[in-house]
Structure 1
Amino acid sequence: MKRFENKTVIVTGASSGIGAATARRFGCEGANVVLISRSEDKLKAVAEGIDSAKVVVADLSTQDGAQKAATEARQAFGTVDVLVNNAGTAVAGSIEDVDEDGFETVMETDVTGVWRLTKALWPDLKATRGNVVMTSSVSGIGGDWNMHAYNTAKGAITNMTRALALDARDSGVRVNAVNPAYTKSELTTGIQNNKELEAKFMERMPLGRPAEPEDIGDVIAFLASDDARFVNGVNLPVDGGLSASNGQPPQA
């Protein structure tokens, strides 16, 4: 099924993990895919498997980078139908541990960069009655130990999703988000390499495994498709059942 044939899909943070899997999924469904990241070599490797792709190297945490990305993405195929805001970073530590530079890095990448690119491409999305899909997190719905900067940023994305859906009233533009739990990617190598910590994550995951990037990319493609044409302003947990729990430990 080619749900995105003749449509242009922009995926940020497309060089690895969820972004790469999402870009490939849209490519399989016939989309023209614009892949954005800071890593040209990794982007090119992902793009090789997509029939119609454009690589844009840009740092979305800067104003110039976001504007460059918007301009090149717009010019690549002439229209913009879907924007997947997936780029993100994290800094671990309590408020006593994280300095202002670390906090600002997370906010500039995970929040301000998302806002800048979405704002720049909003007229294009209105013209096509397109849609935006954010990669938020279960960390944008509830808190994590020792991750206050990331939690703050993803909490902002969770509510930005709702607010933009309201702002888009009568324009035809939809805005939704996925909220993944622990997903295997470069961002979570610290968990993957700590088997004791990973086991604690798995104790609370009813499906008993972490998500693969494709698990999230497939849901992003659904939200961006006409199959979800009446889904708007939603933060969708893609978490293996994690949010079904009230937090008590599993019983034998």
Structure 2
Amino acid sequence: MAKYSLSNKTVLITGAAGGIGAASARALHALGANLVLAGRNASSVADLARELGEERVLSLSVDVTDWAALQNAVACTVDRFGVLGVVFANAGVGPDVPATIATIDPELFERIIEVDLLGVWRTVRASLPQIVANRGHVLVTASTYAYINGAANAPYAASKAAVEQFTRALRVELAMHGATAGVLYPGWVETAMSRPAFGGHDLTTRMRAAAFPRPLAAAISPDAVARRVVQGIERRATSITAPRRWQPVGILRGVVNPLTDRVLTRHTRLQPLLRALEDAARDGAARDQAWPAPEPVPPQSASS
């Protein structure tokens, strides 16, 4: 397939305020793309738009759990740039501190699914008329957690596995229209989401070191991922893995996954850490029940 030139193409990026989204925006802009930066934090995406120069950039405050906001984002994109050629469904959230399925807050579990899976669905669906009309490209951010064991991170891993399958189906359905779709599989990346696993939370950091072989336990920069994103879109790649050292694991997942599951269920370092994580969560819940929340401050006293 001929190289898909990004010059003058319009790219809508969700989760554009930081991390992979912001790094990819900079890389795409450098190649001449028009950008629509969508994020929940209006000031952050506006700051990035000013950094890049607003002539070829539109910033929008968008929550991917809001259908109307996404439909409006596509309408604003077409109004500003005429067409939409690429959508990068990148918005995602994870728990501040990993938790087991037995102890995670149910609202948090469902919030992660809502953003990381249903947010992708909404973003893609809202963009599809333009993608089909312009024979464009869809890129969805999954994770290596789409195929590795998601212990202590189940809602995130489940969402990423689901968006992988979603995009596989989409790819086949878009073929008859001359449009394409791909999946981005980042490993550990130096972002706020991964900070607990790199010193921000002791148990989480120790679990990462115990569960992952050293080459796979290291993090790469968002800029390194962005370079792979650009290369992947230009090739209309079905799969982008960053860093590449994860590729054999993804390719051999049918063999690797049963073996790693067996190892992790008997892992002499990981299992005690998971137990400690559960115990800490239950201890915290018990303290919350034992110490009722303070009475709210009356409105007339709050300003005094």
User: Which TM bucket (shorter chain)?
Assistant: 0.7 to 0.9
Partner of 2:245: 241
Kindly state the Cα deviation for residue 198 of structure 1 after the two structures are TM-superposed: 8.5
Partner of 1:223: 232
TM-score normalised by the chain length of structure 1? 0.87
Answer with 6-15 or 238-247: which moved more: 238-247
Answer with 113-122 or 191-200: which moved more: 191-200
Partner of 1:26: 28
Answer with 86-95 or 26-35: which moved more: 86-95
Mapping 1:90-239, distance limit 5 Å: 90-91=94-95, 92-194=98-200, 196-197=205-206, 200=209, 204-206=213-215, 209-225=218-234, 228-229=235-236, 231=237, 234-239=238-243
Secondary structure of the equivalent of 2:149? coil
CA contact (8 A) 1:206 1:242 kept: no
Partner of 2:15: 13
TM-score normalised by the chain length of structure 2? 0.73
Secondary structure of the equivalent of 1:241? helix
Kindly state the Cα deviation for residue 58 of structure 1 after the two structures are TM-superposed: 1.1
Partner of 2:81: 77
Unaligned stretches of 5+ in structure 2?
250-255, 265-304
One-letter amino acid of the counterpart of residue 9, structure 2: K
Cα 1:205–1:85 change in 2 (3 A) is farther
Structure-1 separation of matches of 2:78 and 2:194: 32
Secondary structure of the equivalent of 1:48? helix
Give 1:61's match in structure 2, choosing from 51, 65, 78: 65
Partner of 2:48: 46
Partner of 2:281: none
Cα deviation per residue 1:128-167 (whole Å; 9 max; x = unaligned)? 1110111110001122220001011001111111110011
Structure-2 separation of matches of 1:97 and 1:109: 20
Cα deviation per residue 1:48-90 (whole Å; 9 max; x = unaligned)? 2324110010111122332232222332211001101110001
Percent identical: 25
Higher-helix-fraction structure: 2
One-letter amino acid of the counterpart of residue 97, structure 1: T
Give 1:89's match in structure 2, choosing from 84, 87, 93: 93
Structure-2 separation of matches of 1:239 and 1:205: 13
Structure-2 separation of matches of 1:208 and 1:117: 31
Moved beyond 6 Å, runs of 4+? none
Unaligned stretches of 5+ in structure 1?
none
Structure-2 separation of matches of 1:145 and 1:208: 15
Structure-2 separation of matches of 1:208 and 1:106: 23
CA contact (8 A) 1:161 1:176 kept: yes
Rg larger in structure: 2
CA contact (8 A) 2:9 2:34 kept: yes
Kindly state the Cα deviation for residue 39 of structure 1 after the two structures are TM-superposed: 0.7
Cα 1:172–1:188 change in 2 (3 A) is same
Kindly state the Cα deviation for residue 38 of structure 1 after the two structures are TM-superposed: 0.7
Kindly state the Cα deviation for residue 240 of structure 1 after the two structures are TM-superposed: 4.8
Aligned residues between the structures: 243
Structure-1 separation of matches of 2:58 and 2:72: 14
